[in-house]
Amino acid sequence: MNKKMKFKKIIKKFMIIKFGKYLYYMIFPSVARLGGDRILKKIYRKLKPGKTLFIGASWKGYYKSMIPSTQFLTLDIDDFYEPDILSDVHDIKCKTNTFDTIVATRIFEHCYDPQKAIKEVLRILKKDGICIIDVPFICKRHSSHDYYRFSKKGLAYLLKDFSKVKIIPYGNRLQVLWLFLSQGAILKYFLRIFNPIVALINYKSKDFSIGYVAYAIK
């Protein structure tokens, strides 16, 4: 990498991390993330500390303090986020039976072959290891690598090789409507302020889940 490219990368990194969208979304998380996090935090509190792999290093600062662990490692395909393991989740550069816990929030919709990716997760999990996944069901396209949406049955099929799986839906009709309104080009900068209030309206709506959290044991 020449000096000019290296300088551009440093500037880009500074702008995104210090003033960019990830800071914005941490301050004003979406109704979907707030709903998923409500469930995830309950699950995290019950975890026994162990060797943990967090897939998707861009959100490591947001979730690291929530997850009890004796060792917390991150994995990402992009070295921009400085992961501990620079690797594609479809082909994880890691030994078999390595981790006690693996967490992947909003990752599997970005996998071109999620079944292959979950087999890799199974491979590197220890026996009786725990995999925690958060995936969207109703959500706008949010990157150029946005391949799938998972229903409850679809997620259950993805995790069929685990010995025990629990899938928890979150979201309702009102929150689905709010989610799309608050992601508009102009309205989002105003409406997102009210996301925590809307997220508290937590009545169940069977056919209008925003997403699902899965707790799976190898």
Write out the two tokens for 154: 């679809």
10-52 residue pLDDT tens: 555 554 544 455 555 567 788 999 999 999 999 999 999 999 9
> What's residue 7's pLDDT?
54
The beta strands (E) that lie in the chain are given as: 51-55, 71-76, 85-86, 99-105, 125-136, 164-170, 211-217
pTM comes to: 0.86
Rg (CA), the chain: 18
> What's residue 18's pLDDT?
45
Mean pLDDT, the chain, rounded, equals: 87
Contact 109, 84 (CB under 8 A): no
